[in-house]
Structure formats: C-alpha cells, structure tokens
C-alpha cells in the first residue's frame, strides 16, 4: 500500500431481508435474499459517489474495490481531483453490478 493519507467508509443495512439468519464466512452470502444484495449494491454506489465528490479525493485504492472492467465508467483508479459536483453519476452496467455483488 503506497504511503499516503487514506480515508474509508462503510455501508450496511439495519435490516436484512434474508431467510432470518446470516452465515458469515468466506465468499458471498449464499443465504442472502436478492433484495439484500441489491441494497448493499446501492450502498456501495452511493457511498462511492459521495466520496468521489469530496474535495480531498485523489483516487481510489483499487484492490479494495470490485473488479469492474477497465473500459467501464465505474472502474477505479487514480484521479487528479474530485468529480465536479454537477457531473452526472457514474453509469454502472450489468457486468459492474455482478462484480459488486460478488465483492459482497
């Protein structure tokens, strides 16, 4: 990890729409309801959008993000500065959504 200042955020749901229990272990949550995964996906996207508009942002630590394709608008990497506050949100395609779901 390069020597520099970092900041992090987390997102979570207060209520899981699953089968009533969660089995925490390596890999994806096999018992998680699709609505629960969609909620976590939305949390990732909105949290990332918020951080991209912070004035201190100079990029993302790629290994801590889902592996989106390099030609996607949602791909991670270094940045020269924050995203402008009136810029449109990044467009995520189906492959990006699948990568985010697998990441969780």
* Residue extents of the structural domains in the chain: 34-103
Q: pLDDT digit string (tens) for 22-59?
A: 555 555 555 566 677 788 888 989 988 888 888 887 77
Give the pLDDT of residue 74.
Answer: 80
Q: For tokens 């979570």, name the residue.
A: 12
Mean pLDDT within 78-98: 81
Q: Are residues 52 and 85 in contact, defined by beta-carbon separation less than 8 angstroms?
A: no
Predicted confidence band of residue 15 (pLDDT cuts 50, 70, 90): low
């Amino acid at each position: 990890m390069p020597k520099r200042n970092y900041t992090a955020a987390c997102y979570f749901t207060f209520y899981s729409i699953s089968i009533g229990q969660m089995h925490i272990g390596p890999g994806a949550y096999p018992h998680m309801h699709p609505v629960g995964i969609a909620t976590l996906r939305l949390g990732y996207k909105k949290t990332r959008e918020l951080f991209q508009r912070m004035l201190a942002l100079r990029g993302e630590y790629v290994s801590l993000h889902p592996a989106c394709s390099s030609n996607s608008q949602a791909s991670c990497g270094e940045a020269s500065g924050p995203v402008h506050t009136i810029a449109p949100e990044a467009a995520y395609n189906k492959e990006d959504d699948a990568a985010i779901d697998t990441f969780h």
